[in-house]
Chains A and B, each alone.
Chain A
Amino acid sequence: AQSVTQPDIHITVSEGASLELRCNYSYGATPYLFWYVQSPGQGLQLLLKYFSGDTLVQGIKGFEAEFKRSQSSFNLRKPSVHWSDAAEYFCAVGDISNFGNEKLTFGTGTRLTIIP
């Protein structure tokens, strides 16, 4: 079965600094990978996704992620964070069900705090 590991439970970054959130996955085939963000008291919102092709994918809000098959990683990056980026970030891997749709397995999340 697939799995996702987010090794950092909580990260604190200064506003304007760069950010990298780590994600490692375990999956037998080419993975479908996602990053979602959850603001306090809200549901999750998709930031970006990777299926195939270019290993560097761009998302919303200035985020990008790089797929590295050799390291089984899909780390999320942003060159300069804003206070509004404070949230919880979830990496997820998709498995194909018997019906042909995906079932997502989420990591445990990384909480991002931004300091002025």
Chain B
Amino acid sequence: NAGVTQTPKFQVLKTGQSMTLQCAQDMNHEYMSWYRQDPGMGLRLIHYSVGAGITDQGEVPNGYNVSRSTTEDFPLRLLSAAPSQTSVYFCASSYAGVGEKLFFGSGTQLSVL
């Protein structure tokens, strides 16, 4: 049981490049989400999904796209990377409903030059 798997662990981009951060979970969780972690700002919700085909914006969605075609996968796309998107990105999943424990991946450290 791998839990929540994020790839890559590290990535360096140039301004304007695009890329996709991958997230997969093998726990059959309905809920998946992406957070970014910046020094002194805690974790902020980017996008989330409550099931295949259903996504919604979080607190800081600008510059990011998501889709959920399967229960297992929830990729995060940066269409045109900017230095302000330099951050550590975490994917998390849980069962549906309130109060469910979030399971986090180990993170992707992204630098945009």
Q: Give residues in A with beta carbon < 8 Å to B.
A: 4, 9, 32, 36, 41-46, 49, 51, 90, 94, 96-109
Q: Closest residue of chain A to B38, judged by CB?
A: A108
- 5 pairs of residues in contact across A and B, judged by CB atoms under 8 Å: A44-B104, A99-B56, A101-B97, A103-B48, A105-B45
- Interface residue count for B (Cβ, 8 Å)? 29
Please tell me if the beta carbons of A108 and B40 are within 8 angstroms of each other in the complex: yes
Contacting residues, chain A, for B99 (C-beta < 8 A): 32, 49, 51, 94, 102
Provide the B55-72 mask, 1 if CB < 8 A to any CB of A, else 0.
010110000000000000
A32 to B41, CA, bound (A): 20
Contacting residues, chain A, for B101 (C-beta < 8 A): 46, 49
Please tell me if the beta carbons of A106 and B43 are within 8 angstroms of each other in the complex: yes
Partner of A106, one of B42, B50, B54: B42
A107 to B44, CA, bound (A): 9
With A43-B90, A99-B50 as contacts: A107 and B42 at CB distance below 8 Å: yes
B102 within 8 A of A: yes
Considering only residues 25-59 of chain B, those with a C-beta below 8 Å from chain A are 31, 33, 35, 40-45, 48, 50, 54, 56, 58-59
